[in-house]
Amino acid sequence: MERLSGLDASFLYLETSSQVMNVATILQLDPSTVPGGYSFAAMRAEMARRVTALPSLRRKLADSLTNVDHPVWIEDDDFRIERHVHRIAVPSPGRVEELAQACSHLIGQVLDRKKPLWDIWILEGMADGKIALMLRMHHACVDGATVADLLGELATATPEPPELDPERVATTAGAASRRDLAVGGAVNFFLQRPVAALKLVPKTVPVPFEWFRRVRSGQGMPAPFLAPHTRFNAPLSSRRSIALTQLPIADVKRVKDHFGVKMNDIVLALAGGALREYLQAHNELPDAPLVGLVPVSVRGAEEKDLVESGTNKVNGMFTRLPSNVADPLERIRVAREYASLSKAHFHEIDDNILRSFAEFAPGNSMGAIMRLYGDRRVAALHPPVFNAIISNVAGPSSEMYMLGGRVESVYPLAPIFHGLGLNMTVFSAGTELNVGLLTCTDLASDISAMARAFHDQLALLLDAVDRGETLDVSEG
């Protein structure tokens, strides 16, 4: 067995019927490359074969009343591929818009915790004979980087089925008896956690004081609960809206290279501009800059205080967004400046603090509090922690095939929270920058307009490049 880290388990505790902790990837595939021709049965059979060499897809949760610590992963000895790979039809005419509509319903459905926490939906009936594939996984299993890693394992450089690694086939999460759960949990909870807490307190005490000092001087990350209010900062219902789009990486890199900035600066400028365009169209644009939470992978950071490293090795960096800047070129400079200030502050904070505190997350209590928080619509009663989650994940630059089908697009989606109802995730793959937007339908039923705004913002920047305009980023 393998015990979940506190951060991994927190995503279980945070989940309610209206705050679903699913991470998803939607892929559009050309099925003409599938060896022997496409059929749902053949694709499911190939996935069943591949799962035998993917231990993370064969494990499920285990817990007991005598366990005072977080749940554990164990091997699912009754694993059946029919419980995990399904198919539905995309509404006619089968465009990306209809694909997003079908997947909006799926992303809001809670995964069955009695089985391994993932499934695949194959969506047939796409235009031009294409198919789509939606992989859903619980956030307790993956973060942005591990999703990219998993796609790298599932995807291949050629359509032919790969050979399986015998060592990975033989790898198992094992079993867990009630005694193992109880004793191991008690040792962690009553012995190791108090020691970790004693080490954690001295590291934590200076953090809020330094943060407050930086906020007053304007030289760091914006503080939580000081973001301006938008329609996305409200309680959620169970309904979801998805918007999907692609930007040519060549065009984005052309802008990046011309102005001498980083890809992440361009992504933040595009996101800030798209938010500005969307909110301005609804006469809801705040005067103050919006605040984004940018997930940051901390893989490779030393594990000093944690007993379990866990799957989610991620932290979050707050940064202002250039949503209040009218000029598109100035938005790049301001986005770069804001991000630089936030990074300098962020790197002074121990990478392990968030995950260390998550180890103390009280499962039953945290779940009850979150249900009360959602049911009583408490998110409407306090200022926003921040306005949107913005992720930028690097994927493979080469052509890839998924279960034999050539991949034409890879759209990422990540969870939203009560009071934080907009997630904007960007995933580079091949020649495209894939953008996935997720919100609650009751907050914004026209999120596709924000996806179109990404194209508008890129077009403005390309026009500036064509005119030969320059940008001084020496102070950023």
CA–CA gap between residue 244 and residue 30 (Å, rounded): 18
CA–CA gap between residue 340 and residue 473 (Å, rounded): 11
Tokens 């400028």 belong to 269
Which secondary-structure segment (H or E) carries 106?
A: helix 96-107
CA distances from 356 to 95, 171, 193, 198 (A): 45, 28, 10, 11
Residue 337 in contact with residue 476, Cβ under 8 Å?
yes
> What is the residue type of 410?
V
CA distances from 377 to 43, 107, 380, 382 (A): 43, 22, 6, 10
Token pair listed for 70: 């977080």
CA–CA gap between residue 222 and residue 211 (Å, rounded): 8
Question: Closest Cα partner for 42 from 31, 53, 52?
Answer: 31
Instruction: Collapse the DSSP code of 24 into the 3-class scheme (helix H, G, I; strand E, B; otherwise coil) and give the result.
Output: strand
Tokens 């001295």 belong to 202
CA–CA gap between residue 133 and residue 26 (Å, rounded): 6
Token pair listed for 76: 């699912």
The residues that are catalytic are 139
CA–CA gap between residue 257 and residue 260 (Å, rounded): 5
